[in-house]
Structures are given as structure tokens and as C-alpha cells.
Structure 1
């Protein structure tokens, strides 16, 4: 057995993603936007995808204004053809695909299981779980063809916890972990690392409908006593995509202010 007792992680490099292309689904706002900016700031060419052309084009323009390279591609992850086209655009524009963050998700309505609208359940599963499968299905062959790389699937605290009144979202985020682990085992020998990140409640547009007492309640579920920031999620995501996380495969990493531990 080799002696790895003195092995240390390489420090972060300001341009650690130079020469690599990253694709971010749901990149027009919130966590997706923060991840896109973080990776572009470290040298990656970034393909920002989403359903709202104005939002993703704004993020791409923001990256370019900061001296980075970016491309906005309208794509709904529930449409396999649109996902395939976004991956082709990444390869055609920047010469390959090396990194992906599958972040696109919708919250769905609130309601207990026996009263939850079946069509709404299917819509949430289609975006939050099947959409991740659609993305991996097209991203992974492109990443292998580009010489390998890494993927982060954006889970949630509800990948390991349960919230009454959110049966579809909770089911999708639990399923995402199984999909992540399966794909990680399959693609580790092919040079692709796949992991999942689990944000707690984060200051994003998802919270816009919460009144102040509700916000106070959910913030209090985190031992840290506050909501997270999109930048905190982006930082962990960037680490897992980087060579600094070279031995991280098929795992779920909470970034949740201690929520999962409580």
C-alpha cells in the first residue's frame, strides 16, 4: 500500500478552470448564477442554460463584462432534444465539455400527499429528477470524449430530510442522490467524478413567497441561525468540480448550516 499520510490538497488556483468548459442548467438566477460566475471567475468558459432567455443572457453578459467567456442557450431540461442541443453548443463553441452543474429545479406547489395535484407532481419530477437524467445522459458522453472531468448535481437538504407538504420536491431530491451514486460508479473508470451538493434553505427566489414569520421559522431550523448564501453553495460546488477534490466520488455534501445534523 502506498504511503499517502503526507498527501495534502492543492491550494485553490485563481485560474484553476482555465481551458475547461462548464455547462450550468438553471443558470439564470440564484445558485445557478452564482456557480456560473464562480467558475467563469476561475477561468472556465461557461454555457448558461435555462428557460428564460433574458435571465441567462444577462448572466452570460455579466461574465463577459468581467472578462470571461460565456454562451447563453435556451433549454428546458424536460426536453431531451433541447438538452442535447445545449451540449452540442458547448462543444461546438468552446471545443469540448469538461464540467457540468445540474441545477435546474422548480419548487412546485404545497400540499399533503393525498391532496397534491397529480399533474403538479409529474411536473416537479420531470424537471427536478428526470431533467437531471436528461442532462447526464447527454453531458457524460461529451465529458468522456473531452478527456474526463466532473459533475455536480444540485440536491437539497430535502435529499436527506423530509418536509411535510412537499411530496414531489422531496421525492425528486431523494431520487437525485440515487441517480448521482449510480452514475458515479459507472463513470469513475471513464475519468468522470460525479457528486451532489445539498444546500439548506438559501437566499434565492424560492423564498420570495415566504412571509417574515415563515422565514424566521425556516432560518431557525439551521443551527447556524440563518439562511445560506448562493455564494457559499457555489464555493463548495467549485471545490467538488476542481482537481482539489480528486478523490471525491459519488457522495452527497450538505452545505446547510448544520440542518442535516440537527
Structure 2
């Protein structure tokens, strides 16, 4: 399958360049710096505008990435379970002159995520990047006090949810060969041990071996 695959650790990387350094990569196109001008309001220009789907996009890293990309003229498709935060962020993007689609959806729902990708592609004309960022910290506990249900919930959200988001996107990404980005964590490293984080650390380690 065409395209460039990258994992996300401490910073957002899209096609190998750190957004924290002010560089965005889209396929073979490189942009230096961040465009501070608001994108043109009105109808979406599907011939030139890039589209990024961001799961877990209503808070934390997902929100920061969405706002940063929107500021550079990227059409953002936000996916999150928190309807209130979704609405607030969408309004923030629009007030800044950006374009945004909003989906209140569970990333582990295969049918729901398939609809998200389909509607995004229909509205925007393409999908150029999926930032599969959605996930949870889950229960923090010594292993002997974990319930099977609590352990499984973290794995379901962080690993299965990422799988569903990526799987749902692949048919659209094949058309243009752009980027899929995941969120891992320093918690996946043996050098960064955190007491009680066994479920979370396991889930993030799994994402490091996803591709």
C-alpha cells in the first residue's frame, strides 16, 4: 500500500517531520513554517485542501494537533466521545477561519468509524491523514488488584480502537497514499517504569509493533 507510516511518541510527526519544529509533510510536498493566515471561508476547495481525521481530537494531544493543523489550512475531521468538548473545539476552529467536521463516535465501533471515514471523504473529497490518537489512561492499579474488565477496557480502547480507526481509513488512503499516525508513549519503554500502569503501558507497547 502506498504511503508513509509513522508512530507518534512525544511529538506529532506527520511523514517524518516534527510539527513542533514548524514543518509539515504531505506526501512529497514540504511546507516550512506555519501559515498564520486563515484559510478561505466558504466552500471547501477539494482540489487543494488537505484533510486530516483526528480521533480523540477534543482534548490533549489530539486537540493540540487538530488546532495546529487547522491553523495551517488543513480541513479537520474531529472524532471524540465527549460531545461538549467537540462542540467547543469545533467552534474555536471555525472562529479562527478553519474548516471542521465533527463526529461524536466511539472509535471501537466498526460500523460507526466506517461511517466517519465515508462521510469525511464525501464532504471533503479525500482523506490525506488519519491521526489515530484516541485512547484512555484507564485504571491505574497493581496487577493483583486489576479486574479483568478494567484491564480489557484499556486494551479495547487503545489497541482495538486504533485498529478500527486505521482499518476504516485504509480504503480511502489507498487512493492518495498519504499518512497514518499513531499515538504511543514513553510508557512503552522499559526505561520509563510507572507503578500501576501495566494495562496502559501494555497497550502503548502494542502500538509500537502495530505496523
Q: Does TM, scored on the shorter chain, surpass 0.5?
A: yes
For residues 163-174 of structure 1, what are the structure 2 equivalents within 5 Å?
163-174=194-205
Q: Which runs of 5+ in 2 are unaligned?
A: 1-22, 24-29, 40-47
Equivalent residue for 2:181, pick from 148, 152, 160: 152
**With structure 2 as the length reference, what TM-score do the two structures score?**
0.76
CA distance in 1, matches of 2:165, 2:32: 28
Larger RCO (CA within 8 A; separation ≥ 6): 2
Q: Give the superposed CA RMSD.
A: 1.9
Q: Does the residue aligned with 1:114 lie in a helix, a strand or coil?
A: helix
How far the C-alpha of 1:48 sits from its partner, in A, is: 0.5
Aligned match of 1:96: 126
For structure 1, the residue ranges without an aligned partner over 5 or more in a row are 1-8, 183-262
Larger radius of gyration: 1
**In the TM superposition, what is the alpha-carbon distance from 1:13 to its structure 2 partner?**
4.5
Which residue of structure 2 lines up, in the alignment, with residue 12 of structure 1? 32
Matched residue, 2:56: 26
Deviation at 1:14, TM superposition (A): 3.3
TM-score with structure 1 length normalisation? Answer: 0.62
What are the Cα deviations for residues 146-185 of structure 1, in whole angstroms up to 9, with x where unaligned?
x111121011111223322111101000001100xx2xxx
Partners in 1 of 2:56 and 2:180 — Cα distance? 15
Instruction: After the TM superposition, list the runs of 4 or more consecutive aligned residues in structure 1 that deviate by more than 6 angstroms.
Output: none
Identify the match of residue 77 of structure 1 among 102, 107, 125.
Answer: 107
1:18-65 CA-to-partner distances (Å, cap 9, x unmatched) read: 611000000111111111000111111000010111111211111111
**Residue among 97, 106, 116 paired with 2:136:** 106
Q: 1:112 to 1:144 in 2, by over 3 A?
A: same
2:77 to 22, 43, 47: 47
The answer as to whether partners of 1:13 and 1:42 remain within 8 angstroms in 2 is no
Mapped to 2, the partners of 1:142 and 1:27 lie a distance apart of 20
Structure with bigger helix share is 1
Residue 112 of structure 1 contacts residue 164 of structure 1 at CA under 8 Å; is this kept in 2?
yes
Aligned pairs, number: 171
